[in-house]
Amino acid sequence: MTDNTAPVQRQLDAYNAKDLAAFISCYHSDIAIYRMPATAPSLQGRDALEAFYKTERFTIAALHADVLQRMVVGNKVIDHEKVYGMAEQPYEVVVVYEVQNGLITNAWFYPVG
């Protein structure tokens, strides 16, 4: 595992465990989350990310994600994920995580299909 994949894997493990503190600790205080094709972040800052996941995601009992494929290009970790629990059927998403100094600084979510 490269240094850049470590925080991405830790946040995925924490996401699947619904461990909010461990999940949030993987992100930079100024994290920006983009839901593409948006040009502005849908979430900005660790506090906003924590509030969102506490109330909108980690309350979903069946929520979990599997990585179907992972690629690393420099400080970008690109995951093709299958997400369960958000809808009747699982859905796929590609997430590009930008990692700097061991923390995720930006994440871009691209819907598949």
Q: Which of 21, 25, 28 is nearest to 75 (CA)?
A: 28
- For 21-45, what is each residue's pLDDT tens digit? 999 999 999 999 999 999 999 999 9
Helices (H) and strands (E) in the chain, counts: 3, 6
How much is the average pLDDT of 50-56?
Answer: 97
What does the alpha-carbon distance between residue 29 and residue 48 come to, in Å, rounded to a whole number? 10
Is the Cα torsion angle 97, 83, 70, 8 positive or negative in sign? positive
Say which residue the tokens 């598949």 belong to: 112
Whether 2 shows a pLDDT value over 80: the answer reads no
Whether 1 shows a pLDDT value over 60: the answer reads no
What does the alpha-carbon distance between residue 77 and residue 85 come to, in Å, rounded to a whole number? 24
Whether 61 shows a pLDDT value over 80: the answer reads yes
**Domains of the chain from N-terminus onward:** 5-111 (3.10.450.50)
Token pair for 68: 């179907």
Size of the chain in residues: 113
Whether 97 shows a pLDDT value over 60: the answer reads yes
